[in-house]
Amino acid sequence: MFQTVVHYGIHFILPLIIALLCFKNQWKFALVIMLCTMLIDLDHLLATPIFDPNRCSINFHPLHSYYAIGAYVLLSIIKKTRLLGIGCLIHILADIVDCWMM
């Protein structure tokens, strides 16, 4: 239960905090973009089984690979793609915390 609260807290509360603190004038837009980055979980559809509660998704799924994480870091540096990069990195952080708590 605690792991689920932490995981979804990172997914939903952390983007809200970042949007409110760092993108004050456009916080709603920033929040929506960062929440949309949860779509990187679509790569779970490529796995068998699709969901395994004992599997760490980091470096298992293509959009959770170390190469993808490197791309997310680059996206967060570029101003036009910053929100996408930050959102993806928040998503990866949530999954890393899951792996640590397993």
Q: What would the pLDDT profile of 56-81 be if each residue is shown by its tens digit?
A: 999 999 999 999 999 999 999 999 99
Using only the alpha carbons of the chain, give its radius of gyration.
14
DSSP state at residue 60: T
pTM over the 0.85 mark = yes
Give 87 or 2, the one with higher predicted confidence: 87
Domain count, the chain: 1
If DSSP codes are grouped into helix, strand and coil, which group holds residue 48?
A: coil
pLDDT at 3: 81
Instruction: Identify the H or E element spanning 76.
Output: helix 66-77
Give the angle 40-69-2 at the CA atoms, nearest 5°: 65
* Exposed e or buried b per residue across 42-67, where buried means at least 16 C-beta atoms within 10 angstroms of its C-beta: ebbeeeeeeeeeeeebbeebebbeee
Task: Note down the domain range covering 83.
Answer: 2-101
Average pLDDT over residues 7-30: 95
